[in-house]
Structure 1
Amino acid sequence: MPSNLVVQAQADGVRLITLHRPQALNALNTELLAELADELDAAAHDEHTRTVIITGNRKAFAAGADINEMAERDLVGILNDPRVAHWQRIAAFPKPLIAAVNGFALGGGCELVMCADIVIAGSDARFGQPEINLGIIPGAGGTQRLLRAVGKPLAMQLVLTGETLDARHALQAGLISEMTQPELTVERALQVARSIAQKAPLAVRLAKEALLKAQDTDLASGLRFERHAFTLLAGTADRDEGIRAFQEKRPASFIGR
């Protein structure tokens, strides 16, 4: 069992993963990242898990990387940092990933938020990439994903100054999808996750992949991928079930085939 996570598999196809290093504001050390990557790998291969939520506690989603651990690494250690592979596995999770954020999401915590597909944040949440204050820069996708999320001017300001962004401004900037009362953050994330979990799994997975293509490729290539995915789904049992359910005015029962 993981020692830095609390994992709850819900009966409705949702897996809730809670970061659990409260004494360190959920700082992302190597052990926690390895456990998180392993849990996401397990969820990716579990046909009963359709959506995953990552959350922290009311004080912090994750306050950044573990600075004490970082201080112990020399240049050779950085060049051979095992966390790189863990981050790659987290970012490659193929199913819908929701971040439910309260409190601080700084440095690696903000980078983890940006690996999620949907971000529900409490009004007390604060986001930022303060690595510049340590004489370094974000190293787990912070510069690349932040600019894509909020645009060049704001990304430059946040990264170069180390300033933080409150939830209201994060919503306006497009860094999060929804803001709620802090005590309702996880419950709202569960509502969204359960809604997604009721949809056809193959359609959900291809829809996520198509949307991500829009960030990484030109319009013509993205449209070709979308049309290819649309055609593939036309031959699935879930597509037939979805149409029948609509015609019969009943909820669809999707099986993932």
Structure 2
Amino acid sequence: MLDRPAERNAIDATMVEELHGVCAELEREPGVLLLTGGTDGVFAGGADIAQLRERRRKDALAGINLRLFERIRALPMPTVAAVDGHALGGGAELSYACDIRLATPRARFGQPEPQLGILAGAGAAYRLVRLLGESVAKQVLLAGRTLDAQRALDLGLVIDVVPPEELLAAAHVTVDRMLRGSAVALRLTKLAVDAPEAAHPQLDLVAQAVLFEDEEKFTRMDAFLNRGSRGGH
């Protein structure tokens, strides 16, 4: 859980380091990541402006937030962001790096970076185009449009909108639904979805070939066939 409530969960150097630590654990022992800012009406209000103010060219080229979000994006198992309240700037980009997003009615997604003299340089410029299309991405990035929860749902940016008190439970339902599937199939499906278009269809064929030999495939399909056989009597 993002836990800097007094600073509206602004992403600072300490949080970046802690999230890198979480990524390292999930790279060693793959599992589903659930990110939340709690239920205080804010997911992450962006980068810590006081720290951002002091960053210079070398810091931008180091990609402090971008490299973290790319690492989250590349985690082997699915990632879920449970967004209650504002996800702005780097906070929004953190949510875009996740595979699935849920929201409460008070969720807001926006990129106010140009108002601070910078651009959304931690993934929004290309992820939003893929997630929402060029037109909507430019509305958010250039025209400063903020997407409320209903608009985010209509556009497919979030999978569901639920009351704040139900957010974590709904997120766990989503996680549990994924975990009922084969972990290997989830990992290979994520690789296939995230791969560049040029990698298909060869990647799909290789991934399916691996799964066709996986013992879990036979176990799961036998169970399915046995259920069907019992249902016929």
TM-score by length of 1: 0.83
Task: Give aligned-pair identity as a percent.
Answer: 34
- Conserved? CA contact 2:34–2:82, under 8 Å: yes
Q: Do the aligned partners of 2:72 and 2:98 also contact (CA within 8 Å) in 1?
A: no
Distance between the aligned counterparts of 1:113 and 1:82, measured in 2?
16
1:227 is aligned to 2:205:
yes
CA distance in 1, matches of 2:169, 2:194: 26
* Cα shift at 1:233: 0.5
Find the aligned partners of 1:65 and 1:168 in 2 and give their Cα distance: 25
The equivalent residue for 1:217 is: 197
* CA–CA distance in structure 2, aligned partners of residues 155 and 86 of structure 1: 22
What are the residue-to-residue correspondences of 1:38-57 with 2, within 5 Å? 38-46=21-29, 50-57=31-38
Distance 1:80 1:96 in 2: 26
User: 1:149 and 2:131 equivalent?
Assistant: yes
State the alpha-carbon separation in 2 of the partners of residues 222 and 128 from structure 1. 32
| Structure with the higher fraction of residues in helix conformation | 2
Q: Could you report, residue by residue, the CA deviation over 1:211-238 in whole angstroms, capped at 9, with x for unpaired residues?
A: 222xx214xx422211211111011111
Which residue in 2 is equivalent to 1:30?
13
Number of paired residues? Answer: 227
Equivalent in 35, 42, 60 of residue 78 of structure 1: 60
Task: Judge conservation of contact 1:98–1:117 (CA < 8 Å) in 2.
Answer: yes
Q: Could you say which residue in structure 2 is the equivalent of 1:237? A: 215
User: What runs of 5+ residues in structure 1 fail to find an aligned partner?
Assistant: 1-17, 251-257
Match of 2:83 among 91, 101, 118: 101
**What is the TM-score with the length of structure 2 in the denominator?**
0.91
Q: How far, CA to CA, are the matches of 1:228 and 1:181 in structure 2?
A: 42
Q: Distance in 1 between matches of 2:2 and 2:172?
A: 16
Runs (5+) with no aligned partner, structure 2: 229-233
Deviation per CA, 1:119-147, whole angstroms, max 9, x where unpaired? Answer: 11111100011101111110111110011
2:141 corresponds to 1:163: no
Provide, for residues 127-185 of structure 1, a one-character-per-residue CA deviation record: whole Å limited to 9, x for no partner.
Answer: 01110111111011111001111111111111112231101001112211222222211
Contact 2:2 2:43 (8 Å CA) reproduced: yes
Aligned-residue CA RMSD in angstroms? Answer: 1.7
Letter in 1 for 2:226: E
Q: Which amino acid aligns with 2:46?
A: G
Residue 196 (structure 1) aligned with residue 174 (structure 2): no
| 1:248 counterpart SS class | helix
Paired letter, 1:118: I
Corresponding residue of 2:120: 138
1:6 alignment partner in structure 2: none
Counterpart residue identity of residue 64, structure 1: G
In the alignment, the residues of structure 2 paired with residue 156 and residue 78 of structure 1 have an alpha-carbon distance, to the nearest angstrom, of 22
Higher strand content, 1 or 2:
1
Query: Which of 87, 109, 124 does residue 127 from structure 1 map onto?
Result: 109
Using a 3 Å threshold, how does the CA distance of structure 1 residues 167 and 225 change in structure 2: closer, same or farther?
same
Q: Once structures 1 and 2 are overlaid, which stretch shifts more, 236-245 or 69-78?
A: 69-78
Secondary structure at 1:120's aligned position in 2? strand
Contact 1:30 1:83 in 2 (8 A): no
Q: CA separation in 2, counterparts of 1:102 and 1:133?
A: 24
**Secondary structure at the residue paired with 1:100?**
strand
